[in-house]
Structure 1
Amino acid sequence: MNTQTSKLPIPPHFNPTKVGEVWRVLYQDIAATAETWAKQQNIPPASLDKTRVCLLLIDVQNTFCIPGFELFVGGQSGTAAVDDNLRLCEFIYHNLGKITTIIPTLDTHTAMQIFHPIFWVNANGEHPTPAATNITPADIDNGIWKVNPAVANSVTNGDYELLEKQAYHYVNQLSQEGKYPLIVWPYHSILGGIGHALVSSVEEAIFFHCIARQSQTQFELKGENALTENYSILRPEVLFGFDQSPLAQKNTKLIKQLLEYDVVIIGGQAKSHCVAWTIEDLLTEIKQVDATLANKVYLLEDCTSPVVVPGVVDYTEQADVSFARFAEAGMHIIKSTEVIPLGDTPR
């Protein structure tokens, strides 16, 4: 049972100076260490937990969290994601005996997707500048940007007219639903690449938890659909195509799981985008079932940071407004150093 009220010590293998680096996790060594550690600290298998606690980690991947990678979340400090992940690793180790399941999400992309430069061209055949270009319905209407005909072969089996209709519908839906306009991002989280992988120190902590608590890590992928963004792990930005046929689907299985846990703790990157979108969608699902379920959600405010591009854009205020709304709905905004009140309430 997860009855521990005090924090566990951090295992000696954890090296806080390596959180901002990429390196290979020595699985066999860590597994042996984790089993020994569980015995020394009297950490029971997660299957015995009466209070079931889920730690949902949003996109804690190299592409967002390692300096020099494509979409490093530097925040206002310039080192935000690294600092966040240091605290996150310590949180996992300190609360090892309380966390039942860890669910990391993985932003997962290929090159030819609607938010990558190759998808769009101007009259001169040039691609938009990533991170500095938004595409609106007016941009398409005025011929500023159009779908690159060459990608139709890979995305819609050569049907360029269909691709144009889907792309325009998508951009128009974002506008009508009051969402962020289509942002052209740098190529990132490319499936099979180093950027797609979890941050090494976090991966090590997650694997350590998996072995110590004998609880399989549950990886959740998002973002593979070529014709929609997927900030939230729970649903893509747009569900239906121009002809109202299904374009993508909600992650109904995960939604059901999260609603069934006794406690859901959320951290990751970026606070202003994928984290906020996921929490927003979770809150929407909660309100449809029982608004008081928001009280079981805890947001690790010091393990997440907003997108900030100095001199270009700063989403700090938007992120803070979203989190204030989540708190008003009953969710708890906490720091990773706080003791989470987990009693042994039966499910």
Structure 2
Amino acid sequence: MVKAVRIHAYGGPEQLRYEDIEIGAPGPGEALVRHRAIGLNFADTHNREGRYPLPSLPHVLGGEAAGVVEAIGPGVTEVKIGDRVAYAAGGPNFPPGAYAEARLFDASRLVLLPDEIDDITAAAILTKGLTAQYLLKSVYPVQAGDTIVVHAAAGGVGLLLSQWADHLGAQVIGVVGSPEKAELAKANGCQHVLISGREDIAQRVRTLTAGEGVPVVFDAVGRDTFEASLKCLRPRGTLVSFGTASGPVPPFDLFLLNKMGSLTITSAAFAWFVRSRAELLSRAADLFNVILTGAVKAAVHQRFALADAAEAHRALESRRTRGASVLIP
């Protein structure tokens, strides 16, 4: 038996229950990972609410964690007992389940951790860092000299995305929700920082780009920023939507994209960019490289006990958090 946080019904943070569960022994291709740190992501709240439905109820939440392999099942060659590993769940074959002291996981989806990256950092960055990697390298390959807009620039993905884009030679316009978060964004790769609700974001972006607009906007906020994001784009620009923290984007007339300059919108989901183990390891190696060389710094700003997961969700949803957060079993 291990302690875990799971839900029995969809709803608010009050649905999170800290309770005992049975996990059993690893089967073929599986490893038993004893968690040392668990990542907290906004997608966890969507699972809790049912916006991203879980395979069944009750179900343990959580999409990423770091820890140590305690046992392996038949046929496992990717890891061995004692290895330090991390994982990022995603897609129907790798469901949530990280909010627990330990869990069984597909060994082919475990990433070996460099000695220089500690468990708390690994749990905080794997999903967020891989997201930043595929956004910048695959969804819209950012080049030196590009000017880009990053919404939620002081959030977990936003801080990594902004630093990495800056490292690639881009000019980053970050959008945040408060002056305190503006200072954090400025210290993490953003050359310009705009505060939502206090200024016309699209107009300011136009001013900063001599009226042209930007080639790409990375938007994890969704409903509240969608219109402004489109207005920030130059002709033939791309809106990359990779989250809906404020709610889903409502239906709109597709022909508006034509009228606004033949714009492109893409919805980039994590699972489709780490489909194979080879792709997962390649992207993880790129992430670890920029962390280990110091080009991108990963800071964990909040730590909560696993038993306090409900409070962690409340803090996340009220935008009281900055950057990355973890749960400690």
After TM superposition, the score normalised by the length of structure 1 is 0.26
Larger Rg: 1
* Higher normalized helix content (fraction of residues): 1
Structure scoring higher RCO (CA < 8 A, sep ≥ 6) equals 1
